[in-house]
Amino acid sequence: MTTIEKIALGKNGPMVSKLGLGCMRMSAVWGGPVNDESESIATIQAALDNGINFLNTGDFYGAGHNELLVGKAIKGRRDDAFISVKFGAIFYGGQWLGLDLRPIAIKNFINYSLVRLGIDTIDLYQPCRLDNSVPMEDVIGTVADLIKEGKVRHLGVSEITADQLRKANSIHPVSALEIGYSLADRQIENDLLPTAKELGIGVVAFANTAEGLLTGDMKAPLAANDYHSHFSRFQGENLIKNLETVEVLKNMAKEKGYTPTQLAIAWVNAQGDHIMPLVSMSRRSRLPENTAAMEITFSADEMNTLNTQFAQGAIVGGTYLQR
């Protein structure tokens, strides 16, 4: 299997794998079935065995189930893993209620996370989003205090604007920005990505296949109960047009001897040494394909074709990534 190289997470940051493992889908987050727990644990351990040390979770993934799962997987090998935890989202009965970013809540959240994970320190701790409900100084300042206390090593942020990123970084150095990024979702190239690069902040890029659009497996129309149907990108004529665009990726993948998913990951990986593709997996069988994607290179013509065919606006309709 491919040996995953290490990169610095942000300017003078910790060394982490260039490919990250997203653990969210190992739990029933959106009301779906729970994956086989033993297979999920084996997947995390196999990822660690193959040099993928960046594990991404959230305290609200499966109401704590995901952290418990990660905790079981890393037991006895804490030093092999870099643990990234998001906090702040409040769910009840599978429904999103909002954010709680009060300092008192953050201090409560982290104690539960540390117990569930079975560790003393979280490597990267980040609010899942930022809104105006609590002053940013209080949110970031609380994480900074946790860093001083030794409960957290590094500050991360997720799904924010360029202005918010600048402000957060002025309060305490930000090591990583977690954000959705793919051939189909390139709006962050306008200001957020350049800002992160300017400030020396690493980018953890999730949704590399744009919620399955770029896998080459999606067909129109979708089933009525498919959660994708909530978003205009996956509805009616929009989906038909978008799948026509995806044919470009499918044809290139076939010519190069890879899958569309591998090319989608490889394109994100190629966007910079400071950018980490964060790929969700819950089965060991997915590891060889996804790690092999990290070795794929593109000719100048191939990259130009992808960047032209998937220019901003080429994929029509929105998803939750465009808020």
Contacts of residue 254, defined as CB under 8 A and 6 or more positions apart, other chains included, come to none
Do 156 and 58 meet the contact criterion of CB atoms below 8 Å apart?
no
Residue 169 phi/psi, 5° resolution?
-65, -25
Query: Taking the CA of residue 198 as centre, how many other CA atoms within 13 Å lie in the half-sphere pointing to its CB?
Result: 11
- Closest to 154 measured CA to CA, from 165, 169, 166, 167: 169
φ/ψ of residue 211, rounded to 5: 60, 35
Dist CA 239 CA 220 (whole Å): 7
Residue whose pair of structure tokens reads 């309709």 in the numeric block? 317
Q: What are phi and psi of 116, to 5 degrees?
A: -65, -40
**How far is it, in rounded angstroms, from Cα 18 to Cα 40?**
21
The one catalytic residue in 61, 125, 181, 258 is 61
61 noted as active-site residue = yes
C-alpha distances in Å from residue 120, one per residue of 111, 113, 148, 235: 10, 10, 14, 46
Considering only CA atoms, which of 247, 209, 205, 244 is closest in space to residue 228? 209
Vertex 206 angle, CA 280 and 80, to 5°: 60
The catalytic residues are 61
